[in-house]
Structure 1
Amino acid sequence: MAAYVAMIYSSQIGMEADEGEVQRRFPETDAVTLQAANDAEVAMAYCRDEVLPELDLLDDGVIRPALEAIEVIKKIQKTITKRSHKMIDYDRHRSSMSKLKGKDDRTLSEEKQYYKVESQLEIATKDYDYLNDMLKEQLPQYLQLQAALIQPITERLYFMQCRISGMIYARCHELLHANEQHFVTFEMGIQPGHQWRLQQDNARDQMENLDLLKSGGKAWLKSSGGVNSSKLTLRERAEIQQAEGRTPSSPLPPPAYGLATSTYQSPASTPSYQPPPVQSYNQPVQAYHQPVQTYHQPVVASPASLSPAASSRRAPPPPPPASKPKKYVIALYDYDAQADGDLSFRKDDRIELIERTTDANDWWTGSLHGMRGIFPGNYVAEL
């Protein structure tokens, strides 16, 4: 951070740029500010050199013992799970043994089954008793040792935080006292110092008025048409679309069919085609060999030649668009909904794909079992 501050307050700012270089801002930086920026860069460099060894000690004294304790807890959890499984085996064999004992006249196969179940029950009983007795005896001891481990780790973390905070405070204290002319709010309270800075220069208002930072830094998407960018969340896309005056899921309005009927309401300006008179079947055959060029002459109908029913007819609606074939994807993994609007599915489910993006790491829209929602695109494969 201090390096960027020193770059901003560089003495080169305000100098004339050579040909082909970018002209920096014109006002020169005063000597007091330059000295404060240079001292801040040196103070932060000292802080970095002093804090890094403490962070190494933090890894050895706090993080590593905590990770080792977590590994021990995982092994104990596996033992508890194994004890539960042995208890299920014990109950199952005991139930089978009770059923066989209840029979007075057992067949030869049932006698064999009886001795087999008796042997299995004996083994299951020994396994369960071994794990159960071990947990009852050693688990309280482990809990006491774990409680004894937490206190020294917490104390070590606390003292390390105090040392690191003291190092940073000492360097900042030296920096402030060495540049009292620049840090004029040092002797003020927090609120008075903040108000004094706002009176001098309200940088927040200036930054909020920049087009670059409007709409969370994404104001350029409205003009560049990047609303469908896969780098935006669904909420950000919806906010941008609402700012443009339309909802995220609103379809385009259908064509106004009523406009087409106005052409039929003005028969004086619309040419009408009159079919030729239907010839009788009793006429000679040679009548069909008459020249037909008269049928191609345009006939303009007068207002009186149109009946009231014909003039009041509406234009027929256009044919409905051909339905697109449905696309499906298959689930590669199980996915449970994490929020409202998510679509849950199981592995190998066949999901109807409604909307997708070009990025497989984005959220896609689909339908399954009558439910519609979004899901991660990298959880499915296209069929």
Structure 2
Amino acid sequence: MMHQASMASYLSAMYDPYIGTPAVEGMIQKRVPSTAPEAIQAVNDAEAALGYCRDEVLPELDGLDRDVTRPLLDLLDIAKTIQKTIVKRSHKLIDYDRHRLALAKLTAKQDRSFSEEKQIFKTETALDTATQDYEYLNNMLKEQLPHFFQLQSHFIQPVFERYYAIQVKIYGMIYARYHELFNANLNHFITNQMGIEDGFNYRKSQHDVRAEMENMDLLKSGGKAWLAASGGVNNSRLSLQERAALREQEKAGGMALSPPPAYGSSSSSPRMMNQYSTGQEKQQLQQQAWGPSSAPAPPAIANRTGGQYVIALYDYQAQADGDLSFRKDDKIELIERTMDQNDWWTGKLHGQTGIFPGNYVSEL
């Protein structure tokens, strides 16, 4: 019940109708899609109903401890005492048999010495004591155990009835609260009267959440699809040895190495057009970056290079047709570049020619 009440409070926070509004200073900003009013009302009613259940059930648990648990623990203590008495009776029986056999062995001799006569006297005394102890414990158990079992049966019956009554009362409280909750939100709990499988299929026909979750990039490839385009020690293409070396470099440098953004915002320089773009493609790229009415002059005139190479500082995965993919420390032949390192340059690697962000490489 405590876990259910806590879960209801979590759901109430998730279904908060004010999610998405500016957060109060010092509070956490929450954001989820808007929720239907019926769902908000249902989750608020559920939180209140489970809170009432918790407050009503807790006092009943005190009665359960007083009327059921503690009396049964006292009964167990009595049973342990009786068990110890039974064990002691068994030990006295062993002493009785030992002294009886020793006395029979001594009295069987025809010619006995003075020490043997003395030993017979001592054994008879010990046998008499062992006999009295054994008979006392044995008779007590035979007389009082049946009476104890009879009293135990009379004791268990009211305890069991009290336990049953407390259970019925607690379940009645919970049922009453849930019944009130369902009747107040019939438009939301529409699968309450259905079977489990029928209710599941109905909910699935209304909104297939599982299919939507499986199509999320966040959950693809074991939740690591985003690592393909990332750099630094979390890059999925790096070996463990390479990651460890990179961590050491980060510690020595006092800062974490992370790749700069490959694509700038709308206010940054337009993506560089290489020599393989047609005139129409260049015009479209200019219009996408600057708008059709204010297309400025292209960035600094590109310099064609020959035999010049650059070294990759980070991994880069092609994000559009014509991009050049590479890994950190790859040696790229530079074909064309601009004076601005934040522009797109043209290079060649492994027989492939394409453009890449200039701030991902360093000149050799």
TM-score, normalization: structure 2? 0.54
Which runs of 5 or more residues in structure 1 are unaligned? Answer: 215-222, 226-383
Partner of 2:119: 113
User: How many angstroms does 1:199 deviate by?
Assistant: 2.8
User: How many angstroms does 1:132 deviate by?
Assistant: 0.2
Equivalent of 1:45, from 16, 27, 51? 51
Which runs of 5 or more residues in structure 2 are unaligned? Answer: 1-6, 223-235, 241-364
User: How many angstroms does 1:14 deviate by?
Assistant: 2.9
Partner of 1:146: 152
Q: Is 1:129 matched up with 2:169?
A: no
User: How many angstroms does 1:147 deviate by?
Assistant: 1.7
Letter in 1 for 2:106: L
Partner of 1:158: 164
Q: Is 1:72 matched up with 2:106?
A: no
User: How many angstroms does 1:108 deviate by?
Assistant: 1.2
Equivalent of 1:95, from 95, 101, 104? 101
User: How many angstroms does 1:26 deviate by?
Assistant: 3.5
User: How many angstroms does 1:24 deviate by?
Assistant: 3.6
1:286-305 CA distance string (max 9 Å, x none):
xxxxxxxxxxxxxxxxxxxx
Answer yes or no: is the 8 Å Cα contact 1:13–1:29 preserved in 2: no
User: How many angstroms does 1:5 deviate by?
Assistant: 1.7
Seen in structure 2, the aligned counterparts of structure 1 residues 60 and 118 have a Cα distance that, compared at 3 Å, is same
Name the CA distance, whole Å, in 1 between partners of 2:197 and 2:146: 53
User: How many angstroms does 1:202 deviate by?
Assistant: 5.2
Runs of 4+ in structure 1 deviating by more than 6 angstroms, as ranges, are 18-22, 204-212
TM alignment of 1:325-340, pairs within 5 A = none
* C-alpha RMSD of matched pairs (Å): 2.8
Partner of 2:89: 83
Answer yes or no: is the 8 Å Cα contact 1:15–1:26 preserved in 2: no
**What SS class does the counterpart of residue 187 from structure 2 fall into?**
coil
TM alignment of 1:193-342, pairs within 5 A = 193-201=199-207
Partner of 1:174: 180
Partner of 2:61: 55
Equivalent of 1:2, from 8, 14, 30? 8
User: How many angstroms does 1:172 deviate by?
Assistant: 0.7
1:290-326 CA distance string (max 9 Å, x none):
xxxxxxxxxxxxxxxxxxxxxxxxxxxxxxxxxxxxx
Letter in 2 for 1:142: F
Name the CA distance, whole Å, in 1 between partners of 2:148 and 2:50: 44
Letter in 2 for 1:15: T
Name the CA distance, whole Å, in 1 between partners of 2:116 and 2:148: 46
Name the CA distance, whole Å, in 2 between partners of 1:103 and 1:115: 14
Seen in structure 2, the aligned counterparts of structure 1 residues 21 and 142 have a Cα distance that, compared at 3 Å, is closer
**What SS class does the counterpart of residue 104 from structure 1 fall into?**
coil
1:109-164 CA distance string (max 9 Å, x none):
11111100110000000000000000000011111111222222111111111111
Q: Is 1:31 matched up with 2:37?
A: yes
User: How many angstroms does 1:193 deviate by?
Assistant: 1.6
Name the CA distance, whole Å, in 2 between partners of 1:113 and 1:202: 94
Instruction: Tell me the number of residue pairs that the alignment of Structure 1 and Structure 2 aligns.
Output: 215
Seen in structure 2, the aligned counterparts of structure 1 residues 206 and 69 have a Cα distance that, compared at 3 Å, is farther
Seen in structure 2, the aligned counterparts of structure 1 residues 65 and 203 have a Cα distance that, compared at 3 Å, is farther
User: How many angstroms does 1:190 deviate by?
Assistant: 3.6
Seen in structure 2, the aligned counterparts of structure 1 residues 41 and 73 have a Cα distance that, compared at 3 Å, is same
User: How many angstroms does 1:18 deviate by?
Assistant: 7.9
Answer yes or no: is the 8 Å Cα contact 1:13–1:24 preserved in 2: yes
1:350-369 CA distance string (max 9 Å, x none):
xxxxxxxxxxxxxxxxxxxx
TM-score, normalization: structure 1? 0.51
1:64-86 CA distance string (max 9 Å, x none):
11101100000000000000000
Seen in structure 2, the aligned counterparts of structure 1 residues 18 and 62 have a Cα distance that, compared at 3 Å, is closer
User: How many angstroms does 1:8 deviate by?
Assistant: 1.7
Letter in 1 for 2:179: H
Letter in 2 for 1:97: L
**What SS class does the counterpart of residue 43 from structure 2 fall into?**
helix
Name the CA distance, whole Å, in 2 between partners of 1:196 and 1:174: 24
Q: Is 1:184 matched up with 2:218?
A: no
Seen in structure 2, the aligned counterparts of structure 1 residues 18 and 68 have a Cα distance that, compared at 3 Å, is closer
Deviating more after overlay: 39-48 vs 182-191: 182-191
**What SS class does the counterpart of residue 175 from structure 2 fall into?**
helix
